[in-house]
C-alpha cells in the first residue's frame, strides 16, 4: 500500500492498523508532505478497484474542510484565468460533472504530474508491487 500511496506524492508516514493480537487490519493511516498529494490520493485512489477489493480513501473532517476551501479557491483562480484567456466555460456542464465525481480540468491542474501518477499507479498495481 505504501508504494501505491507514494505514487500520489511524498509520504511522511504510513501505518497499517493492527488489532489487539497484533494481526494486521484492512486499513491504515497515511500522512503526506503536501496538500496536492493528499488531494491526488483522495481523488485518484478512492473507490479504485484493487485486485478483489475496492480501495476506500477517507480524510478527517478538518482535512476535508481545508481541501474543499483550497479546491474552491483554485477553481475560482482557474475560472478567472479561463475568462482572461477568452475561453468559454459551460458552468452548468461543469457543475453536473462535479456532482458525478468526474475529474475537473482545474482539479487535474491541482495534481502535479497527473499523467505520471496514473502511470505509476497502473504499473504498481500491474506488478502487484504493493507493500503491506
pLDDT, tens digit, 9 for 90 and up, residues 23-43: 988 889 999 999 999 999 999
Q: Could you tell me if 124 and 8 are in contact, meaning their C-beta atoms sit under 8 angstroms apart?
A: no
pLDDT range class, residue 77, cuts 50, 70, 90: very high
Q: 2-126 belongs to which homologous superfamily?
A: RRM (RNA recognition motif) domain (3.30.70.330)
* Mean pLDDT of the 115-128 span: 89
Residue 119: the pLDDT is 93
Amino acid at each position: 500500500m505504501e508504494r501505491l500511496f507514494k505514487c500520489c506524492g511524498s509520504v511522511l508516514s504510513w501505518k497499517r492498523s493492527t488489532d489487539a493480537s497484533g494481526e494486521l487490519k484492512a486499513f491504515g493511516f497515511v500522512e503526506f508532505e503536501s496538500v496536492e498529494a493528499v488531494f491526488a490520493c483522495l481523488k485518484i485512489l478512492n473507490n479504485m478497484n484493487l485486485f478483489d477489493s475496492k480501495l476506500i480513501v477517507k480524510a478527517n473532517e478538518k482535512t476535508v474542510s481545508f481541501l474543499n476551501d483550497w479546491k474552491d479557491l483554485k477553481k475560482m483562480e482557474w475560472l478567472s484565468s479561463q475568462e482572461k484567456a477568452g475561453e468559454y466555460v459551460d458552468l452548468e456542464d461543469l457543475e453536473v460533472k462535479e456532482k458525478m465525481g468526474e475529474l475537473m480540468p482545474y482539479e487535474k491542474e491541482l495534481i502535479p504530474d497527473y499523467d505520471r501518477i496514473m502511470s505509476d499507479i497502473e504499473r504498481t498495481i500491474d506488478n502487484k508491487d504493493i507493500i503491506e
